[in-house]
Amino acid sequence: MFTGTININGTLMDLSIPKVMGIVNLTPDSFFEGSRTPQEEEVEKRVRQLLAEGADILDVGAYSTRPGAADVPVDEEIRRLRKGLAALRRVAPNAVISVDTFRADVAKMCIEEYGVAMVNDISGGDADPHMIDAVAYARVPYIIVHMQGTPQTMQQAPHYDNVVKEVMVQLAEKVRRLHEREVNDVILDPGFGFGKTLEHNFELLAHLDAFDIFELPLLVGLSRKSMVYKTLDITPAEALNGTTVLHTLALSKGANILRVHDVKEAVEAIKLWQMVKKYENEN
């Protein structure tokens, strides 16, 4: 497990204690209906709730990345983000914000106009050749997500000979390119659900500690995803308990950041996991 820090707007965030990233969806079609906040008053209410429950980071997105989601024009993504970030900043001017986008111009706008502190790129730099330049220039932490295909195609028969090895090899090449550009605060996300079958997802989770070799922070996004609700034959709305179980397993295998819809439950899982680790280390 990574036990160092990342630079957030000049302040070091200690990741030796796992952090919670609360999801703020500005889309009208996110896979989990309960997380959608397309209106400004809904954004304000959502932000207050997430921070009150203990969120360390707010991840704001305006482009639905659920399998088969429709493409969103760049001007519409920017419009949604400007509206949502303005509402967010009204109620939480000092919050640490991540923007969930794969477009360099969108990331640049969010950083320059709203003080966004990090970029969460589901394409890992593949969708926009200018993204790495933008991140390097802004000197903000960059989350590389592994994805096979695009949101429109990623679940059309994804295939791997060895999913853990292939994800690690592809992430290693992206890390090398980022370090060459002196992007030092790199966070890895193996991309649960992004171009992977249920079996691929569980194999990745089972071997999550293999990513320790990178000596980089590890983010996991498991919240209410299909690996929970399809396995249990329930709906995303019913998947909180299963999500919490997988979060606990991810923590035990080295996760530094949990990206979640439900902050309170994730914070509780971390506290209980920390207590176990405390006594484990004392004996």
Q: Which residue has the higher pLDDT, 27 or 211?
A: 211
Q: What is the 3-state secondary structure (H, E, C) of the chain?
A: CCCCEEEECCEEEECCCCEEEEEEECCCCCCCHHHECCCHHHHHHHHHHHHHCCCCEEEEECCCCCCCCCCCCHHHHHHHHHHHHHHHHHHCCCCCEEEECCCHHHHHHHHHHHCCCEEEECCCCCCCCCHHHHHHHHCCCEEEECCCCCCCCCCCCCCCCCHHHHHHHHHHHHHHHHHHCCCCCEEEECCCCCCCCHHHHHHHHHCHHHHHHHCCCEEECCCCCHHHHCCCCCCHHHCHHHHHHHHHHHHHCCCCEEEECCHHHHHHHHHHHHHHHHHHHHC
Per-residue pLDDT tens digits for 123-152 = 999 999 999 999 999 999 999 999 886 565
pLDDT (0 to 100) of residue 31: 46
| pLDDT the model gives residue 155 | 65
Q: What is the pLDDT of residue 32?
A: 44
Token pair belonging to 39: 């209106």
pLDDT interval class at 153 (50, 70, 90): low
Structure tokens at 68: 């088969």
The yes-or-no verdict on residue 159 having pLDDT over 90 is: no
Residues taking part in catalysis:
225, 259
- Please, which pLDDT band fits residue 64 given cuts at 50, 70 and 90? confident
Q: pLDDT digits over 231-244, tens only?
A: 999 999 999 999 99
Q: Which of 37-51, 79-93, 95-109 has the lowest mean pLDDT?
A: 37-51
- What pLDDT score does 244 carry? 98
Q: How far is CA 229 from CA 23, 125, 152, 192, in A?
A: 18, 29, 21, 14
Q: Is 27 exposed, middle or buried (0-12, 13-18, 19+ CB in 10 A)?
A: buried
For 232-280, write each residue's pLDDT tens digit: 999 999 999 999 999 999 999 999 999 999 999 999 999 999 999 989 8
pLDDT above 90 coverage of the chain, percent? 81
pLDDT one-digit tens code per residue, 33-57: 554 566 788 899 999 999 999 999 9
Find the mean pLDDT for residues 106-111: 97
Residue that the structure tokens 């979640």 belong to: 260
pLDDT over 50 at 117, yes or no? yes
Sketch out the chain's domains with CATH numbers. 15-282 (3.20.20.20)
User: Mean pLDDT in the chain?
Assistant: 91
pLDDT greater at residue 168 or residue 37: 168
